[in-house]
Amino acid sequence: MTDDKAYLGARIFDGEVWHYDSALVVTGGKVKAIVPASALAEGIGKVVLDGAVLLPGFIDLQVNGGGGVMLNDEPTVEGISRICAAHARFGTTALLPTLITDTPQITRAAVEAGKQAKREGVAGFLGLHLEGPHLSVARKGAHDPSLIRPMEEADLDLLLSGAKDLDVLLTTIAPENVTEAQAHKLANAGIIVSLGHTESDFETAGLYEKAGARMVTHLFNAMSPLGHREPGLVGAALASTTLHCGLIADGIHVVPPSMAVALRAKQGQGRIFIVTDAMSPIGTDVTSFRLNGREILRKDGRLTLADGTLAGADIDMLSSVLFVHRKLDLPLEEAVRMATVYPAGALGISHKGALRTGTDADFVVLNDDLSMKATFIGGDCIHRA
């Protein structure tokens, strides 16, 4: 008997190609290999998946909440754990809990909670995304304008300190409230700088890309649009061969024809990947919640402020993958890459996002109709439908 365990009886997608009549062999929380089922060693433990589909675990770089918890309200290890657990039910095996613009005190608490979550090894916790507070009031979306402000030395120091103790620290900034020099310092420290919630023009976006920005937050939403004389941030994102772009794939934040145009336009190493921008209702039946003291209403797949402003999304990652697969007529494997390979590439990590020798044994098992069956993180079953 070995310590290896083999998962077989499923079509296996490793992030690049499909494997048939094969087995995923896992040992010590890592992928050992994908081998023909007929070549499995004697004595190996076997888990038969009954004709299901096995995929790399989904990676979500923008998750404001889930399971009834908003990170803004519970910037604690317990809050992070509940958010991760809620999204594991929908195939997300690695995520960045995301703090929406808040006070310096809440921001600091979230960073400290992230450090503690890493120390405790919270399943599914990948790092933090600080979406603000250094954004543009003109493109605030649902962010509280009274909390938006320029980046100061103390803010920069907090981020630089957090980067030393977190595997991933991503921050969304607007050039209106962050200087090129500050963006350069963040990027040099290993912090992933993403442009978003900004009126930035095409030229300015290019300057910040040169300063180290490597991502764009929820493409199309809360940013200067693509115009015929001023391409804006949307144009800069699509024209760049290196900027990676998050996309909310619920059909509400961006309609399918615009998604399709963006996917056809984007070329080069920088890819478009799916984010959920999910809020606390995911995994619950609540019809409203609060953000920075304001009520957010949940109705017909939308989350809005009282004035109708969209306030995050009411969608999980599996639903997002199936949306682009079915509504955009993307092959399933390409839809899956948008939630696995491409976000991992945006972060520059190689231990997640695919199933190959040495990667984390994070994977999702679906039924033949692509409904949820089980989620595994580090080889452990975290959720079973």
Write the CB contacts of 109 (distance below 8 Å, at least 6 apart in sequence).
75, 76
What count of Cα atoms within 13 Å lies in the side-chain half-sphere of residue 44? Answer: 21
DSSP state string for 265-323 = H--SS--EEEE--B-TTTTS--SEEEETTEEEEEETTEEE-TTS-B-SB---HHHHHHH
Task: Give which of 58, 154, 152, 158 is closest to 99, Cα–Cα.
Answer: 158
Give residues with Cβ within 8 angstroms of 140, minimum separation 6. 148, 197, 222
Calpha distance 246→40 (Å, rounded): 39
Cis peptide before 133 (omega within 30 of 0): yes
The C-alpha angle with vertex 317 and arms to 314 and 321, in degrees rounded to 5, equals: 115
All residues at 6 or more sequence positions from 211 whose CB lies less than 8 Å from its CB, including other chains: 180, 181, 183, 184, 187, 193
The reply to whether 277 belongs to the active site is yes
Catalytic residue chosen out of the listed positions 14, 250, 277, 314:
277
Tokens for 164, please give them.
């030393």
Residues paired with 195 in a beta bridge: 173, 216
DSSP 210-261: HHT--EESSTTTTBPPP-SS--HHHHHHHH-SS-EEEEE-SSSSS-HHHHHH
Determine contact, residues 177/151, Cβ cutoff 8 Å.
yes
Q: List active site positions.
A: 277
